[in-house]
């Protein structure tokens, strides 16, 4: 039976979709527009906060993109994207799987400022500057980690790169990652993967969250 993924274009559910595509699993995608549609009683019975992603696998319903990544690897990966308990890279793999959320929280706060709060007068330049700076600091950590390798782990590409790669995909909308050469090359490598491209919305898709090339602060 196919997995079922509840998804909004380029939301954190892209992380789950990209991983499902890397694993070449069958999936039925239930696409929502970002906002009120997520608050139906039907969807709230699956995800109590009405957020994405949410994954159904047979009888199982699971939310939280990090937990979904761990679950998909544990059940469906043949050792390529997962670092199983006991593997020497296991602790580092877990660290980066969850670091992905640390990064995305800044991008999510910036998304709220630049997009969700539609009236510019209600946005906070202080919050925007602070979150942009904190996002930059989080990217600096990747810049250092990637100085001697192509992917986060020494052994190569893993689900941790999918998690962090999504965070960069959105993070780069709020800060110029060309300022970080290792990170820019890393994003280039990740975004040229077929599974990544299959997880993006079509150019003319409706219900996109991000419709501008970027949302960088101008001052």
User: Interface with ligand GSH by CB under 6 A: which residues?
Assistant: 11-12, 38, 51-53, 64-66, 101, 108
Shortest Cβ 65–ligand GSH spacing (Å): 4
Q: Using CB positions, name the residue nearest to ligand GSH.
A: 51
Judge whether 6 and 53 are in contact, CB under 8 Å.
Answer: yes
Residue closer to ligand GSH (CB basis): 38 or 182? 38
Shortest Cβ 158–ligand GSH spacing (Å): 18
Judge whether 21 and 45 are in contact, CB under 8 Å.
Answer: no
Tally DSSP H helices, then E strands, for the chain: 8, 4
Residue closer to ligand GSH (CB basis): 100 or 183? 100
Shortest Cβ 113–ligand GSH spacing (Å): 14
Shortest Cβ 202–ligand GSH spacing (Å): 19
Judge whether 160 and 100 are in contact, CB under 8 Å.
Answer: yes
Residue closer to ligand GSH (CB basis): 44 or 80? 44
CB atoms within 10 A of CB 99: 20
Residue closer to ligand GSH (CB basis): 9 or 83? 9
Judge whether 158 and 151 are in contact, CB under 8 Å.
Answer: yes
Shortest Cβ 173–ligand GSH spacing (Å): 13
Residue closer to ligand GSH (CB basis): 12 or 106? 12
**End-to-end Cα separation, the chain, in angstroms:** 51
Q: What are the DSSP calls for 112-138, one per residue? A: IIIIIS-SGGGS-HHHHHHHHHHHHHH
């Amino acid at each position: 039976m196919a997995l079922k993924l509840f998804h909004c274009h380029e939301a954190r559910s892209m992380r789950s979709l990209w991983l499902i595509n890397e694993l070449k699993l069958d999936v039925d995608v239930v696409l929502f527009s970002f906002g009120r549609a997520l608050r139906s009683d039907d969807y709230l019975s699956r995800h109590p906060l009405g957020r994405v992603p949410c994954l159904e696998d047979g009888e199982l319903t699971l939310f939280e993109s990090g937990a979904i990544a761990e679950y998909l690897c544990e059940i469906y990966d043949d050792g390529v994207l997962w670092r199983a308990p006991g593997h020497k890279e296991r602790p580092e793999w877990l660290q980066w799987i969850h670091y992905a959320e640390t990064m995305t929280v800044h991008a999510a706060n910036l998304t709220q400022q630049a997009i969700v709060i539609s009236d510019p007068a209600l946005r906070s330049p202080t919050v925007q500057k602070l979150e942009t700076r904190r996002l930059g600091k989080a990217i600096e950590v990747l810049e250092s980690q990637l100085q001697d390798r192509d992917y986060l782990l020494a052994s190569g590409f893993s689900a941790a790169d999918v998690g962090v790669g999504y965070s960069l995909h959105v993070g780069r909308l709020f800060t110029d990652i060309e300022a970080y050469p290792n990170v820019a090359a890393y994003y280039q490598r990740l975004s040229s993967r077929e599974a990544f491209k299959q997880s993006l919305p079509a150019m003319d898709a409706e219900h996109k969250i991000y419709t501008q090339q970027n949302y960088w602060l101008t001052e």
